[in-house]
Every structure is written in structure tokens, then in C-alpha cells.
Structure 1
Amino acid sequence: MPFYEHVFIARQDLSNTQAEGLIEHFGTVLTDNGGSVVDSEYWGVKTMAYKINKNRKGHYAFMRSDAPAPAVQEMERLMRLHDDVMRVLTIRVDEHEEGPSAQMQKRDERDSRRERR
């Protein structure tokens, strides 16, 4: 099965537990349709570059999945219909990276950054 990475932004007026509940809800949609969630991360409330639906901030969430294309399409369809989800981005990747995402790593742990002069 192909590998996917999903990022979605939920409304800022949700609580942290409600936002994490969305991750579980959409993860069960994938598993019910024959896929599996490899990893999921809750990135917290972040300020966005521009307003979306009159919101300046949003709850960011990240999921790695191994699922067939129809399962991913069904999850995206349900995300777009859900009132609390503002944006969805799904990317197909060749393989999942080990460890936490770059967003969750500490600044000094990121070895790919170059030094400033």
C-alpha cells in the first residue's frame, strides 16, 4: 500500500482534547477502510501566515498513514465536510521517515540547518 502524510488545521476555539480527538476520529476512518495510521502528532496552536475563515490561529495535526487510495479519499472527503477542519494537505511519499517530524524536533537537534555567518 502507498504511504501518505496528512496535515490538517482545525479551528482555534477548540480545546486541545477536541483537536486530538479529531486525529483519532480520522485515524479510525482510515482503519475502517483498510488502512493504518503509522504515526500521529499534535503540533499545537500555531499562528497562520494569513487568516482562514476569519481565524488567525489554528490547531495543527500531522498523521503518517499506510492506506489504499480510496481510504485516503474518503478521509479527505470527511475532513472537508467537517465544520472544525479548515485546511487539509495530503502528500504521497515513498517511505516514512523515522523519528519525529521536523516540527517536533528541537532546534539544536536539526542537523540539516546551516550555520549563519
Structure 2
Amino acid sequence: MPLYEHVMIARQDLSNTQAEGLIEHFGTVLADNDGKLVDSEYWGVKTMAYKINKNRKGHYAFLRSDAPATAVHEMERLMRLHDDVMRVLTIKVDEHAELPSVQMQKRDERERGPRPDRGDRR
């Protein structure tokens, strides 16, 4: 089955348990349609770059799924209809990374490559 990654932004006035309940709810939607939720991460409340529906902050969640396209379409349809979900982004990937996402890693744990040559700077 194809592999997908989803990022969901929920309203800021939800509690943490309600936001995590949304993750479980949409995981069951995938399971009901012959898919499965491989992994999920709750990133917490973050400030957005611009207002969405008069909200400056939102609960961010990251989902990894292994599901047929019909299950993903159904989940996205229900997310769009849900009042608490403001935005959803779904990407089809070749494989899931095993490490926690970049958002969950601490700043010193992130791998940084070498800096490019800066030339003759003083």
C-alpha cells in the first residue's frame, strides 16, 4: 500500500487531550477503510505565520499512514468537514523515516551538514 504523511492544524482553543483525540479519531477512519496509522506525533500548540480563521495559534499533529488512496481521500474529506480542523497537508512518500520528525528533535540533535565555502570574507 502507498505511504503517506499528513500534517494537521486544529483550533487553538481545544485542550491537548481533545487534539490528541482527533489523531485517534482519524486513525480509526483509516482503519475502517483498510488502512492503518503507522505513527503519530503531537507537536503541541505553535504560532502560525499568518491568521487562519481568525486564529494565530494552532495544535499541530503529524501522522504517518499506510493506506490505500480511497482511505486517505475519505480521511481528508472528513477532516475538511470537521469544525476543529483548520488545515491539512498530505504528501505521498516512498518510505517513512524511523527517527522522530525534525519538529520533535532537540536543536543539538539535528544533523547539520558542512557549510559551503564562504570565499574571501573578512
Any residues of structure 2 matched to 1:44-59 within 5 Å, and which?
44-59=44-59
Aligned residues: 117
Deviations 1:58-111 (A, max 9, x none): 000000000000000000000000000000000000000012101000111101
TM-score where L is the length of structure 1: 0.96
Match of 1:70 in 2: 70
Match of 1:4 in 2: 4
SS at match of 1:83: coil
Provide the rounded CA distance (Å) in 2 between the counterparts of 1:114 and 1:10. Answer: 37
Provide the rounded CA distance (Å) in 1 between the counterparts of 2:112 and 2:36. Answer: 30
Any residues of structure 2 matched to 1:26-105 within 5 Å, and which?
26-105=26-105
SS at match of 2:57: strand
Q: Which amino acid aligns with 2:18?
A: Q
Indicate the RMSD between aligned Cα atoms, in angstroms.
1.5
Deviations 1:22-76 (A, max 9, x none): 0000000001100011100000000000000000000000000000000000000
Percent of aligned pairs sharing the same letter? 84
TM-score where L is the length of structure 2: 0.92
SS at match of 1:87: strand
For structure 2, the residue ranges without an aligned partner over 5 or more in a row are none
SS at match of 2:108: helix
Provide the rounded CA distance (Å) in 1 between the counterparts of 2:74 and 2:33. Answer: 8
Q: Which amino acid aligns with 2:17?
A: T
Q: Which has the larger radius of gyration?
A: 2
Closer, same or farther in 2 for the Cα pair 1:113/1:11, shift >3 Å? farther
Provide the rounded CA distance (Å) in 2 between the counterparts of 1:31 and 1:109. Answer: 34
